[in-house]
Structure 1
Amino acid sequence: MNSTTSSLPSSNQALEHQCDVLIIGSGAAGLSLALKLADHCQIIILSKSDRNEGSTRYAQGGIAAVFDEGDSIESHVADTLDAGAGLCDEEVVTYTAKEAKKALEWLINFGVPFDTEENPGGEKKYHLTREGGHSHRRILHAADATGEAIQTTLNDAVAAHPNIHFFERYNAIDLIASERTPKHCKGVYVWNRKREQVEVIRSRFITLATGGGSKVYQYTSNPDVSSGDGIAMAWRAGCRVANMEFNQFHPTCLYHPQARNFLISEALRGEGAQLCHADGTRFMHNFDKRGDLAPRDIVARAIDFEMKRLGADCMYLDISHKSADFIVKHFPNIYRKCRSLGIDITREPIPVVPAAHYSCGGVMTDLNARTDLDNVYAIGEVAYTGLHGANRMASNSLLECVVFAKAAAEHILSRLHDAPSIEAIAPWDESQVSNSDEEVIIQHNWHELRLFMWDYVGIVRTNKRLERALRRIQLLEQEIHEYYAHFKVSNNLLELRNLVMVAELIVRCAMQRKESRGLHFNLDYPDTLAHSSPTILTPTKSLIEEEPGTLST
């Protein structure tokens, strides 16, 4: 391929770029895909913030794979199916578990510094920890900052490759449909946040690696960039989505006014930490025979129940019965963060609350990571592969990123030389819009959306709460539609436009599920049905022609 990217001129004119593969998102999924493709074609990676920001960076626990002789792929599969509460796609789970060790060896070859220990014979091996839902120790980790180690390592490799071009501080706005090839996208409109102008990227293949949409909730462990952009863009372009009702709330987010997004890794419970009340009384045994190592959905509901029952602001996680040396060695970042806030975890319990953490649903893909659009792929949290079912098992998320990056890369490479030529795209038309003088509307709608989603579509739901949420969403959509049509785009507007759409998809999926299963618990349908299937939403013509805004084609 001879495609190249344009350089950025100093003028403020409309810009156009082109490449073979456009990757929207710069976490583990996007970076892995870029590195697997870059020897063969020209790549643009789009990052909404700087290249280090995203959910990957904040992942603490690790990545699951069978490295121990006493473990097995069959056991990894069984644990994942059990955690997924009967809604996992067994073929996808088996494929992922089989590919897991090769995926981690690929990361190791790039230099990801997973922790090691010496066996009795003095030989070094990888230290394996255990997390909720796992029947064996199979989690490779880099202390308690595995995601940061992966992000840094892959970013260094990407920076060294001449065929990978990084565009930082760019928002993707919308996929642009081809007029000549059905179910094909010819590029993307993007907003350059530094220059505050809309540009065009034309590409033969497009991959969404944008992460999830947990920013739709008032309380979340995710960074601010997790605004559901890829899910909303794919839906507007005509892609199906599935299982959006299954939002994973991580059981243990640090409860402190100065650390609203700081996660307390599940690995603490894997190493013996115990959930308790303020007086030290343990309670998880009242909810599940696995106690503190029950899957996340059960633990999050238990904490939520105890907080409401006692009128408490938080519960506590106590690992102080372990030696101080053990705690500081295995959890140095958590120790330092808590210590900076006046909490010594070697001597006292950690105050914790559940927080929105992971979107188990997303854009429907096949085993090659391909969506309903011929040349558009989705990998990582933005995608619904069938791996997670009704509840993601700990440390399968980063694994999914790398495994399906490989699958997508292989499929793209098999089609690269036969792909249609890059089509022309009309420039963005701003002739009918003006600068906003009502930014307060955006801020107000932001706060309202996130608060009622937390109150009405949170850990425990009811039919009335869902109906109330849908009514509010529809009103917000009308306001945002009008605003988008009349004013120039901005980061807050683009994210809000996407999040309100993701909120509607979550609520509509939740309203279709007439049972409680996994991460979806509805007091009006407390029982789990004997047979169930994924909740799939298909765009209709009226839905995907939502709002053209300033777009001109």
Structure 2
Amino acid sequence: MNKYYSHDILVIGSGAAGLTLALHLAKYANVAVLSKSALNEGSTWFAQGGIAAVLDDQDSIEAHVADTLIAGAGLCHEDAVRFTVEHSKEAIEWLIDQGVNFTRENGKTDYHLTQEGGHSHRRIIHSADATGQAVHTSLIDQALQQSNIELFEHHLAVNLITQADDGYPRLRCTGAYALNHNDDHIHVFQAKVVVLATGGASKVYLYTSNPDSASGDGIAMAWRAGCRVANMEFNQFHPTCLYHPNAKTFLITEALRGEGAYLKLPNGERFMPRFDERAELAPRDIVARAIDHEIKRLGCKCVYLDISHKSPEFISEHFPTVKARCLEFGIDITKEPIPVVPAAHYTCGGVVVDRNGQTDLEHLYAIGETTFTGLHGANRMASNSLLECIVYARSAAEDILAKLNAIPQPDKSPAWDESRVTDSDEDVVISHNWDELRRFMWDYVGIVRTHKRLERATHRIKLLQKEIAEYYSHYKISGDLIELRNLATVAELIIRSAIERKESRGLHFSLDYPNKSPVARDTVLVPANFAGQNLIISKNRSVAEE
């Protein structure tokens, strides 16, 4: 039976961004948080490395800003970078207040700070090699204690709900339809304010470090509702995922390289010094392309990450999760190198938002990996992602609270109409299209691109979207179908953005346009049903109309 829920704020997503925002709002409003699976199954839980922040007297805000700008290959928005970095310390202090147990120096009261690719200082605060789990556990524990936060596990958002008010020219977001996996019905969640915190879209690729939940749901829903998206061509491929037939998506944290691990060819030779003077500590785009180049040059299946020259005690203390997981596959990292390959890891583009997380659609906010804030530019620097989640969630919460009392209650939306659909007896169509989509995205829109490959991808995505739309309109929807539909939308946005960029910059590398343009431009896609009242795009933007 279809149900109707009403709250002040609806948060779609239960990771670091969504729960941080919910906790900041809970004292003043009632909040619903939708989690598409269990609370602890999102990308936050699996984040290993840590959170970048200026916490040491030897470090500075200027140094962190400069490192981020360099890693972003000239495309970061400096105001967004500075805003994020300037609020990094207070974000960490808030997490500590929530009970996050960050690793301390042996026998000392100071927190242990590590270094990762692109950083000029040790500024990564972490909880061993399971920082995401430590952060997520603390936030979940805090949320469960709040009477004003109602958590809905196994609820997958389908579409946003909008309404037009008398005498007001713009639509506003007033809720969402969500599929409850527990009863297989679609329910209505109404709210004054809706916040997208659904994470990224790396599941669009065949090989990814992300959990199954990273299907670009928030980006696709916002696009369908009339919001701009930007820089979707910049997909970060993490250089080091465990290569093993039974290891589905296990990331080997960049902190290993920060603590001295070497990347080696099958013959034991180091190769990163040939590609960059920073060697293993070069930014991720450089390291991922170097590995991809060597794998293709040699025809080998993987390269190797070796930290066995460090003492077993050091390895066990700093990387207990990686050590234990590798041992499950018969790899003792204290004695032998780890086989690794690049895998899709992070979506640097997303829904266009301002500093407060406000999208083009009135009363719809977006935070975290779902968004384009301008922080990451053409390549996200390691450990800036969780920082962005916390900083922008806090900023969005402040903005929402300032406006909430003036927002009228939304009209009651109609229930989801399933009267003209039937149960499918051909779900094989979903699984086949899912596999085909992820495979051609990996082959044609991966680490290295060409115009011809992108044209092939364009042809394939149009055919797939036609099949998906037909299936969606005739059959009762399922979780797999919802995610496939969203992934197809995101794939189209990535392909279109990649075609627009006639240069190689950061994470986007084209054999047809190998040089970097002297002018840095964002790629902003504008939907036909654009929800904004005034479209204002600065001179350093490239716009493609639908």
Q: TM-score, normalised by structure 1?
A: 0.95
**Structure-to-structure mapping, 1:365-514, within 5 angstroms:** 365-514=353-502
Displacement of 1:148 = 0.3
Displacement of 1:95 = 0.5
SS of match in other structure, 1:499: helix
Distance 1:468 1:455 in 2: 10
Please tell me whether residue 315 in structure 1 is matched to residue 300 in structure 2.
Answer: no
Distance 1:98 1:543 in 2: 31
Amino-acid identity (%) = 62
Distance 2:108 2:319 in 1: 24
**Structure-to-structure mapping, 1:303-382, within 5 angstroms:** 303-382=291-370
Please tell me whether residue 524 in structure 1 is matched to residue 509 in structure 2.
Answer: no
- State the partner residue of 1:5: none
- State the partner residue of 2:148: 163
- State the partner residue of 2:99: 111
Displacement of 1:542 = 10
Distance 1:469 1:81 in 2: 31
Matched to 2:411, the amino acid is E
Please tell me whether residue 138 in structure 1 is matched to residue 126 in structure 2.
Answer: no
Distance 1:186 1:371 in 2: 14
Distance 1:174 1:100 in 2: 33
Matched to 1:124, the amino acid is T
**Structure-to-structure mapping, 1:166-205, within 5 angstroms:** 166-180=151-165, 181=168, 182-205=170-193
SS of match in other structure, 1:17: strand
SS of match in other structure, 2:6: strand
Displacement of 1:123 = 4.4
Distance 2:217 2:194 in 1: 14
Please tell me whether residue 43 in structure 1 is matched to residue 28 in structure 2.
Answer: no
Matched to 1:450, the amino acid is R
Matched to 2:175, the amino acid is G
Distance 1:123 1:313 in 2: 43
Displacement of 1:129 = 0.1
Distance 1:408 1:165 in 2: 19
Matched to 1:254, the amino acid is L
- State the partner residue of 2:542: none
- State the partner residue of 2:535: none
8 Å contact from structure 2 (residues 240, 340) kept in 1: yes
8 Å contact from structure 1 (residues 128, 140) kept in 2: yes
Q: 2:16 aligns with which of 28, 36, 54?
A: 28
Displacement of 1:179 = 2.4
Displacement of 1:541 = 3.7
**Structure-to-structure mapping, 1:523-542, within 5 angstroms:** 523-541=511-529
Matched to 1:159, the amino acid is L
- Unaligned runs of 5+ residues in structure 1 are 1-12, 545-553
Q: 2:245 aligns with which of 253, 257, 277?
A: 257
8 Å contact from structure 1 (residues 252, 352) kept in 2: yes
8 Å contact from structure 1 (residues 248, 356) kept in 2: yes
SS of match in other structure, 1:178: strand
Matched to 1:354, the amino acid is P
Let me know the Cα RMSD of the aligned residues: 1.1
Distance 1:308 1:164 in 2: 50
1:230-272 CA-to-partner distances (Å, cap 9, x unmatched) read 0000000000000000000000000001112000000000000
Displacement of 1:496 = 0.2
Distance 1:541 1:251 in 2: 38
Matched to 1:402, the amino acid is I
Q: 2:43 aligns with which of 55, 66, 75?
A: 55
Distance 1:289 1:370 in 2: 40
8 Å contact from structure 1 (residues 318, 345) kept in 2: yes
Q: TM-score, normalised by structure 2?
A: 0.96
Matched to 1:261, the amino acid is T
- Unaligned runs of 5+ residues in structure 2 are 533-546
